[in-house]
Amino acid sequence: MVPPRTMYFVGDGDYKAVGLEFRRLFTEYGGLKPEHHVLDVGCGIGRMAVPLTGYLTGGGDYHGFDIVKKGVEWCQANITPRHPNFHFLHSDVRNRFYNPDGVYEASSYRFPYDDASFDFVFLTSVFTHMFPADMENYTREIARVLKAGGSSFVTMFLLNEESKRLIEKRSSTQNFVCPLEGCVTTDPTNPEGSLAFEESYVRSMFGRCGLAILEPMHPGSWCGRPEFLSYQDVVIATKA
């Protein structure tokens, strides 16, 4: 269950190794259990789903959706037939970087799932491609579909005193120096290619949307830190 490299659109790194590393992070830090009902927002081409097929074996199931149709179709053809508790949907949400002709706006899109359906919701490198209004709507939707006590696991780029200092020193792999309204990009000609947000704003926004961040946040290596959990910053939050 590994797609051909010509189909990759989910970033760098070994397909299997990255997926296994995140399965470890989901279980050790996010609290994922084998019996959980799981939602993968931005499932891509199944890089996170594949390693979970051997884990969600205690009555759990997986649902994933993505705006890139070819990735969803590959997952439907290669994962679901082997693991019928894994389900994939295409959501035709517009994004200039990944799906410029999409029908729906991310700022108003409603996830195609009922309230309080999931124990665990995760997003890996989704908010890195979304503007503030889009991200806020998705965060509200995460809170809506989570069960009480459920957890969310989100990777993103956070700007704080440390990361800004490292960017200024040119230690960062992401040069966030082009400010936009409510966020900062590396490339104003293609802003959704990579976006970062002030940590203080993210904290406030999660709270407004009904999610309580579990402290501490986990810093990433992207800006050149010597100590980190993953490449991007990790935010884990629960629904009361």
Residue 128's pLDDT is what?
Answer: 96
Residue 10's pLDDT is what?
Answer: 63
- Which residues fall within 8 angstroms of residue 130, CB to CB, at 6 or more apart? 95, 106, 138, 192, 195
**Total Cβ atoms within 10 A of residue 169:** 10
Residue with tokens 């990009």: 185
Residue 224's pLDDT is what?
Answer: 98
How buried is residue 54: exposed, middle or buried, by Cβ count under 10 Å (0-12/13-18/19+)? exposed
- In three-state secondary structure terms, 167 is helix
- What is the CATH code for 14-158+198-239? 3.40.50.150
Q: Measured between alpha carbons, how far is residue 87 from residues 61, 69, 148 in Å? A: 8, 14, 23
Helix H or strand E segment including 179: strand 178-180
Residue 13's pLDDT is what?
Answer: 76
Residue 15's pLDDT is what?
Answer: 86
Tens-place pLDDT, residues 63-72 = 999 999 999 9
The dihedral over CA atoms of 192, 198, 199, 201, expressed in degrees to the nearest 10, equals -100
Residue 11's pLDDT is what?
Answer: 67
Tens-place pLDDT, residues 100-143 = 999 999 999 999 999 999 999 999 999 999 999 999 999 999 99
Q: Is the pTM of this model over 0.75?
A: yes
DSSP state of 139: H
pLDDT means per 10 residues in the chain (240 residues)? Answer: 72 85 98 98 95 95 96 96 97 90 96 98 96 98 98 98 98 98 96 96 98 97 97 96
Residue 1's pLDDT is what?
Answer: 80
Residue 2's pLDDT is what?
Answer: 82
